[in-house]
Structure 1
């Protein structure tokens, strides 16, 4: 293995083989055929391109289902060991379509939504409204009315205004709506680090101190039924330390609130991390589940209080790894950056409009050639998009074969979560379709957009006759 390139980040190791697919980063079904073409779920990248075009979101349905079952089994077993039960809500914000909602529901998960649109998708998928939870820091009156009218299972209250707003809606309808109160525990966790503070400065939820009054008010109102506390400490979290600290703080509040009545549920949120690169080492979900539930049980025992039912809201860990994005290389540009330092800019036919995570968060991704393998020496590359922004970066740093060329297919793994969800039409680029693969067959589950679709929303467009090619509408 040769020395790293001068511009490479410390974590990026020059691979012995720039064609190799790192385990845990790629879908479990990912493999190369005898000609080096990438296959996902038994379907080749070339076939996907020829059938649906590029860019293209691709998700392995079987792996999504398997991951949903694994999470459910892990938390179910951990809870059962302590004589309680665990409910798993799929975090719809990670990726939501009617098909995805059906997959997770059929595997036994409930679904978490946070807007009227997400609620509509879940209901259109046939998900029982009683198996839905509703989040959000600024739910409108209309959203709350629609959720209540649908028979939503629970609503997470985020502010004093929302308490009064929802209670009035429920009272007008003559019902009692089950609610949780979102609490900021003062614990912030990202990847393997966490920070515990005494004060909060964010838009979500109540502080530990103000939550006492919020719960008291909920209990006074005839339209609301308080069922538990809710907390979410961050995203892409490795390890259990942050969850353990947060759970300890929440249970201190939980114990105090028991003086006012039973509290059947404690929802500890989600945020479980996945591998985006070979440098990532996420904690197995079984270890997370056992560690988190063990500390909840221990904290309850210390306080002499009953162990509540537990709820969790994973999204990324279920749908992230089963997804890839497929691109076609358009241009390749070697750029000299100082003495002896060079980076290859590989431009693809997508970009920050279909994957905004690097632009938003500085997120790292991996990439591999998908249409062939190569014996060329690995070269440091930056995969960039087609948008008029210098920050339009898909993969900031990766070693690709030095002979990468226009027309090659490039695949970026671990894009099943928060890529389609965050997609935009920046520069009037149509959003790609989403393709699901099952039993060796590929099908469209979300239709891609065309330029016609974009112009159809523009009331000033006199005619779209000039656009005769329905690009992006697979």
Structure 2
């Protein structure tokens, strides 16, 4: 969506061969739309990057927390990818979408017993164990059921990616994983190897999100292999799988400059190969878990503009019919986005407006400085770009706003994959108070 925009003769923004104004009229706003051809293109980029390295086994697992629906899981399944889930709800969605359980990995730092049982019942491909409590509970559950389970141990390599502090997950002070330098990881490996039911296949790490350089991945791998040198000699453990997570950066605005996917993969593969060669260790299968990088730029949110408030000498606010309830990231992370007036996409963006949401919060501002045509006003359709990751998945019912619909578009066809919620849907699970009358005993 960056660079030249496709605009039709009516001056409307086109996505996936569809007129966005027509989509807004047909499905209503706010509306999440996904260009599925772009998702498929991103998947092929990852596959091509790995295919150049003939000497390694590899796997790409979509991190479904970025965007999880039945249709999205089906798209991932058709592409032959694996799937990363982090909750019982994501696992349930995946199974009901027909995703083979053998290609599902279950993550999370506080899996409940019911979630672990669901994973064991389905016989998922692997469980990524995050802490000693989970390691013990999973071992007990497997022993009770006399069921084996492949596991990976999540470790924290102490590497801080160049990203927002709220989305850095590889440094030492984090709720995720077993620390390397304080002996936690080594103790977890010992316990896993002693288990009769847990089959330790490898290690997992994730250093952060929205990463625009490769050195963080290389440093994390080098750090892990410093310990693997000892673990191989003392414990006889060498990972058959090394999962380096995801976090590959995308375009949100023109200021973002992510690297080609091949640059990340080449660095990861080269570093693993070098570390294994230096230590005479076998080359593991390399797994990655892209989420945002597969769906982020493919998603666009459409809004209808409403009220305008001009504060002379300060700014002009243009309010839309959504906001932090359908995209919490600007309020939570101070995330930046870029917008287009989809109904006037042929006009120059010569005015700066603040795009405000409709939630009853001062901080509900989607874009502080959006460059839009001077004529953009109430009734126009606005398109906020690169909302494919963590928009729908982090949406809420704040102010009792119904969740938007989701539409997949490709080659001029639009398919509804999530229906718009109604007010009736919002109260569907509410239980009204049973008020007693004066005649009640």
Same fold by TM (over 0.5)?
yes
More deviation, 102-111/313-322: 102-111
Q: What is the match of residue 223 of structure 1?
A: 197
TM (norm. structure 1) is 0.87
Q: What is the match of residue 48 of structure 2?
A: 73
The answer for unaligned runs of 5 or more in structure 2 is: 435-441
Contact 1:344 1:379 in 2 (8 A): no
Task: Say if 1:49 and 1:75 are closer, same or farther in 2 by CA, change over 3 A.
Answer: same
Q: What is the match of residue 466 of structure 1?
A: none
Distance 2:35 2:149 in 1: 37
Q: CA RMSD in A?
A: 2.1
Distance 1:357 1:192 in 2: 12
Contact 1:191 1:273 in 2 (8 A): no
Superposition map of 1:97-108 within 5 A = 97-108=69-80
Contact 1:332 1:404 in 2 (8 A): no
- Which of these residues, 229, 240, 249, is aligned with residue 273 of structure 1? 249
Deviation at 1:255, TM superposition (A): 2.8
Distance 2:46 2:157 in 1: 24
Task: Say if 1:303 and 1:236 are closer, same or farther in 2 by CA, change over 3 A.
Answer: same
Deviation at 1:291, TM superposition (A): 1.5
Q: What is the match of residue 300 of structure 2?
A: 324
Correspondence 1:238 to 2:212: yes
Q: What is the match of residue 343 of structure 2?
A: 371
Distance 2:358 2:370 in 1: 18
The answer for unaligned runs of 5 or more in structure 1 is: 1-20, 463-474
- Which of these residues, 63, 79, 82, is aligned with residue 91 of structure 1? 63
Deviation at 1:377, TM superposition (A): 6.5
- What does the per-residue CA deviation read over 1:145-173, in whole Å, with 9 as the maximum and x for residues that have no partner? 11011011000111111111001111122
Task: Say if 1:300 and 1:321 are closer, same or farther in 2 by CA, change over 3 A.
Answer: same
Q: What is the match of residue 121 of structure 2?
A: 149
Q: What is the match of residue 408 of structure 1?
A: 380
Contact 2:170 2:208 in 1 (8 A): no
Other structure's SS at 1:460 match: coil
Distance 1:318 1:182 in 2: 23
Contact 2:406 2:417 in 1 (8 A): yes
Deviation at 1:76, TM superposition (A): 3.4
Distance 1:402 1:196 in 2: 39
**Displacement over 4 Å in runs of 4+:** 195-199, 374-377
Deviation at 1:96, TM superposition (A): 0.8
Correspondence 1:438 to 2:415: no
Distance 1:461 1:355 in 2: 32
Task: Say if 1:225 and 1:373 are closer, same or farther in 2 by CA, change over 3 A.
Answer: closer
Distance 2:311 2:362 in 1: 14
Q: What is the match of residue 138 of structure 2?
A: 166
- What does the per-residue CA deviation read over 1:397-444, in whole Å, with 9 as the maximum and x for residues that have no partner? 221122221001000010011100000000000010100112311111
Q: What is the match of residue 119 of structure 1?
A: 91
Correspondence 1:297 to 2:297: no
Distance 2:162 2:286 in 1: 22
